[in-house]
Chain A
Amino acid sequence: MSKGKGDKAAEIRRLMATEGPAIEENTKGFNEKRKEAVAGLENYEELRTQAREIKEDAIDRLPELIEELRESVEENGGHLYLADDAADANRYVREVVADEDADRVVKSKSMTTEELDLNDALEADGTDVVETDLGEWVVQLADETPSHLIAPAIHRSRESIAELFAETFDPEDPPETADELTSFARERLGELIRDADVGVTGANFVTADTGTMALVTSEGNARKCAVTPDTHVAVAGVEKVIPSTDDLSPFLELLARSGTGQDLTAYVSLLTPPVDSPTLDFDDDETPLSERDSDRDFHLVLVDNGRMAMREDDQLRETLYCIRCGQCSNSCANFQHVGGHGFGGETYSGGIGTGWEAGVEGLDTAAEFNDFCTGCSRCVNGCPTKIDIPWINTVVRDRVNRGEEPEGADFLVEGLTPDEEPGGLDLDKRLFGNFETLAKLGSATAPVSNWLADTAPARWALERVVGVDARRDLPEFRRETLVDWFDRRVSTVSDPSREVVLYPDVYTNHVQVERGKAAVRTLEALGVSVRVPAVRSSGRAPLSQGMIATAEDHAHDVYGSLAEHVDAGRDVIVIEPSDLAMFDREYERFLPEASVERLQENSYEIMEYVYGLLENGADTDALRGGDDAVAYHAHCQQRTLGLEAHTVTVLEDLGYDVVTSDVECCGMAGSFGYKEDYYELSMDVGDDLAEQFTTPETGDREVVASGTSCLEQLDALLSRRPRHPIQLVAPR
């Protein structure tokens, strides 16, 4: 389903209108419950650490664990087959089904068999395949694909399911309520399971020591599929193998909580097949169950299909630690609005879907939806195995940019050269990735550049050539940058308590110069001596376009410029939260450990720093207080770093009455909202925030936000002009 530019926007618009509302309601419900469920777990972080360690170890020792598992399974009387790819796995399952002369296979939901297209393969042989998970059955009846890792029919409302049942079965008394729909499905499926010849399930975890598989479910259909027919085939990716039954409990405690917010799902089946249960024939009115035989066949099909190569890939390996809880989909604002049919590939969807698709399907498939991840990092703290999901998306984007070869040259170096051969990288990516150069050019030629950029022909060209949506206001470059302004002024601090370097991010330096000036005035008023040296941009912009080598180049330069200041005992103050997040997270990938630690230890977000100064006795009266009513929106990465509270506390201590948005995402996330394909989605996501800030309680409040993209988005969404919080507290 490769799409041209206009088609993509149209497809997003269609999904937002049809599937979006149900997905948004359901995923937000999961999130709420997750927060409660996780808060109720004393040792949550400890469990995440354990889970991560077990996965790291298991993937590391995978070949050896698979051999141990083979022995366990065979000792129990089952068979283990290691399949290279989809065709190999399907061939094996088809043979088992043929050996059983099976007319019908009943299945319990399994993403791995979706990946293999196993149903198609079996149906081609004339076998009747029935999905028994209620959501998955709906998807099968509608001839759709699952739109979520754990809730396949999340995109459908109750009404649309009722319509589907009515159309498909034309029943006398069509079911309508959730209760009626459920019993309708249970009755039909119950009959089908009863007479089935083979049951196919997935497996959430398989333990090498005992050959036990864990199936995490709620409905009871997995148990029925595994135990009612006398032949059970379990299909699972090789990454599901963990060393021992002792390792199960951290995963079980985390899985349901992270996904749907339940403590445990109704049933966790721990099957060490072939199970002892007698085979069932419901027409048998003679033999007591204890005298029926339990002659059962069990086949475990472990699927490689690209996973062993992912294991060798330093960047994609982490994807194999995923336990498919769906948290990263639920917590993603873009996913909430388009769902897995937009934000997904052939099989896998959501944040980690890119990594999976890149690994099992290939870069082309991953490329189709990789752009939906804006790198906002909202999903990061909720991943049970602590996978850096945005990083995986960045890596995949980088590989997509370069074409197939991971070792290709970084063709985009310096300079804005949209007329040159783009070497595979989209022009829009080059433009946004090079925002620093653009900003320099813009400031040097302001106000002409602003005027020019705003003319109709220029906007038309921007949209046509690089996909900048004409409906979005462009930043206005300032002729005098913050660094220039600072160079020409004299410090007002004679006996400084501390010395700092204010990091002049591109936006503060070229566009939002006022917030930079406010930061300088605030720090000086609190007795801090400030320097504003010209430092290169953090590399966030190229990074978010997947230009990793360019971003790394920035990291080296930034550290080079700041190291001397850190050595001199100066703290580094950052205004833009996404830049601080860059120092805090991504720089670990680019710089030596000692360097990154020094930088991290000495860098602070501006309001965090002000908070610290005030806590340490600086004089509140030096700052501007007020009893104004304020509506505050924290930046997504600021929240991931746990820095939201500092701003709120400082504002409140100065007398402001603060209301905070609990909508985490402004919908903009860097350059996302500028892009023609994503403009409408960006506004749709942003609507939730606009709504919160236009209620009777918030409608008249002064709007403040920490991040550049949030400020721009709020500017587009509201008639009030938002400001950075530092501008409220800075002395005039």
Chain B
Amino acid sequence: MATTSTTLSTFEDALDSLGVDCTRTTAEAFATTLDDVVRDPAVGVPLPFDVDYPESVTVDPTAADLERASTGITPASLGVANYGSVLLPSTPDGAEPVSLYPELHVPVVRASDVVPDLPEAMDRFGEAASDRAESSIVATGPSATADMGALVLGAHGPEAVHVVMLDE
């Protein structure tokens, strides 16, 4: 099912209201776009899309690289338009920790993988869970806590999220 432009603008609006930046880019412009988005040092896991990382990003980092990194770049399998959520699969190359430890997380989602709502997303997740025991995080905005008397971002996870939406 093709993603409609209404779905995409709903997604962008939802991200906006979560305080999450979103940059749309093409495969050719991907590296330059990412260069502008990341805070150094940046680490990323290999992306399942036909794009190249810029020089500035350490691809497939070590755990020590990860600990030093300010930005983590990971693929998102889906976007959920009405909530501005992204689904982040846990992979053997470390997408889970890379999306969690650095202060800025940059999920990369294909525009064609943005679905309208949660039931649709869960439907797709359900298939992946039964086919290959997939684990995934539905991430909506940065990590947050209100336990210390006011809303604070970046409680344990990233304090900022910048979605890169890829037109392939």
Contact = CB atoms under 8 A, between A and B. Distances in A.
Contacts of B66: 280, 282, 289
A218 B91 contact: no
B61 interface: yes
B65 A285 contact: yes
A251 to B, nearest CB: 10
Interface string B125-168: 11001100111111111111111111110111110000000000
A288 B137 contact: no
Nearest to B121: A249
B118 interface: yes
A186 B148 CA distance: 12
B96 A153 contact: no
B138 A178 contact: no
B97 interface: yes
A276 B152 contact: no
A264 B138 contact: yes
A594 to B, nearest CB: 38
A244 B64 CA distance: 38
A284 B62 contact: yes
B148 A134 contact: yes
A185 interface: yes
A202 interface: no
Contacts of A186: 154-156
B153 to A, nearest CB: 9
A179 to B, nearest CB: 6
B129 A289 contact: no
Contact of A210 (B92, B123, B130, B149): B130
B35 interface: no
B33 interface: no
A698 to B, nearest CB: 31
Given A161-B149, A244-B126, A266-B144, A218 B61 contact: no
A223 B94 CA distance: 13
Given A210-B133, A270-B136, A282-B66, A218 B98 contact: no
Contacts of B63: 280-285, 287, 289, 292
A698 B120 CA distance: 50
Contact of A275 (B96, B100, B154): B96
A284 B62 CA distance: 7
Given A158-B150, A294-B92, A288 B100 contact: no
A613 interface: no
Contact of B83 (A212, A263, A275, A285): A263
A231 to B, nearest CB: 16
Contact of B122 (A159, A248, A277): A248
A265 interface: yes
A270 B62 contact: no
Interface of B: 45-46, 60-67, 83, 85, 90-98, 100, 118-119, 121-123, 125-126, 129-130, 133-152, 154-158
When A and B form their complex, which 6 residue pairs have the shortest distance between CB atoms, in order from nearest?
Answer: A220-B157, A158-B149, A289-B94, A245-B126, A135-B147, A290-B93
21 contacts: A135-B145, A151-B147, A158-B149, A181-B149, A186-B155, A186-B156, A210-B130, A212-B135, A218-B155, A246-B122, A252-B122, A263-B140, A264-B85, A267-B137, A268-B138, A269-B137, A269-B138, A277-B135, A278-B92, A281-B63, A290-B92
